[in-house]
Structure 1
Amino acid sequence: MGAGREKILIVDDEENARIGLTKLLAQEGYEVDSVADGCEALEYLRGKRVNLVISDIRMPNMNGLVFLQELSRRHPSIYVIMITAYGEVESYLEAMNLGAFEYLHKPIKLDVLKSVMNKIFERSTHLC
């Protein structure tokens, strides 16, 4: 599936998680970049186009929900998967209301992530 056409941005302040997920998805054939927080991500997206953002919820500077709100406002066509190590019902509901496609818990199971990504990329290829 990762034909290199799909561009993914990982947003996570946890360096090991960010690097690990970036490497895993690159091995699957996706073009992947990563940044440490929402502010960096918004700056990155000024000059680059991505199909999917995978963002942590709990981050310094700009938490993931504030980032998601800004991202949805500035780049409504980008799909977003929110990830968290904390199972908070409130943040799940808020993330979904703000336009997240999916909300996954850490540690991320690669097969589950790939399944969600396949749904996203199938959906985006059926658009005009």
Structure 2
Amino acid sequence: MVKRIMVVDDEPDILFSLKILLERNNYDVVIAHSGKECIREMEKGFKGIVLMDLMMPNMDGWETINEIIKRGLMNNVAIEIITGNGTKAFQTMDAMGSYIFDYIVKPLDMRRLLLSIERCNQHFNTKNT
């Protein structure tokens, strides 16, 4: 069962909080402070769930996702969006189709986040077995 998660966010407090929460729930957590760092980790072979913030400097979450798709790095990867703007995320998520599993609106409800990650993990493991 895949229990790897990459958290992509430019806010150190969010990265720290999510890392602690996810590790306490038996996930192997990889941290990326930017879209470019996320892509580097994926090129090194990361497989699992990616929690992607949308609002980041230089390369935002949508640009990062488009680059991941363009480079063919979506195999064995599931993306969940974390955002402060749920309406815009939902509209763009429709356009991204099957690449996005779910989105979570900030401020994060940790219980809902964990439930969504568990659903994603179950779907991911069913799809890749």
TM-score range, shorter chain: 0.7 to 0.9
User: Cα offset for 1:109?
Assistant: 1.3
2 CA distance for matches of 1:44 and 1:27?
Answer: 22
User: Cα offset for 1:83?
Assistant: 0.7
Deviations 1:54-82 (A, max 9, x none): 01100011001111122233222311111
Q: Indicate the percent of aligned positions where both proteins have the same amino acid.
A: 23
Q: Which runs of 5+ in 1 are unaligned?
A: none
2 CA distance for matches of 1:44 and 1:10?
Answer: 11
Q: State the TM-score, normalized to the length of structure 2.
A: 0.86
Aligned CA RMSD, in angstroms, stands at: 1.6
Count of matched residue positions in the alignment of Structure 1 and Structure 2 = 124
Give structure 1 regions of 4+ aligned residues with deviation exceeding 6 angstroms. Answer: none
Deviations 1:66-106 (A, max 9, x none): 1112223322231111111233x233221342221111111
2:106 matched to which residue of 1? 106
2 CA distance for matches of 1:63 and 1:113?
Answer: 21
Note if 1:79 corresponds to 2:78: yes
Spell out the pairing of 1:1-128 with structure 2 (5 A cutoff): 5-73=2-70, 74-77=72-75, 78-87=77-86, 89-98=87-96, 99-127=99-127, 128=129
2 CA distance for matches of 1:85 and 1:124?
Answer: 25
User: Cα offset for 1:8?
Assistant: 0.6
Q: Which amino acid aligns with 2:126?
A: H
Larger relative contact order (Cα-Cα within 8 Å, sequence gap ≥ 6): 2
Q: State the TM-score, normalized to the length of structure 1.
A: 0.87
Q: Which runs of 5+ in 2 are unaligned?
A: none
1 CA distance for matches of 2:18 and 2:57?
Answer: 19
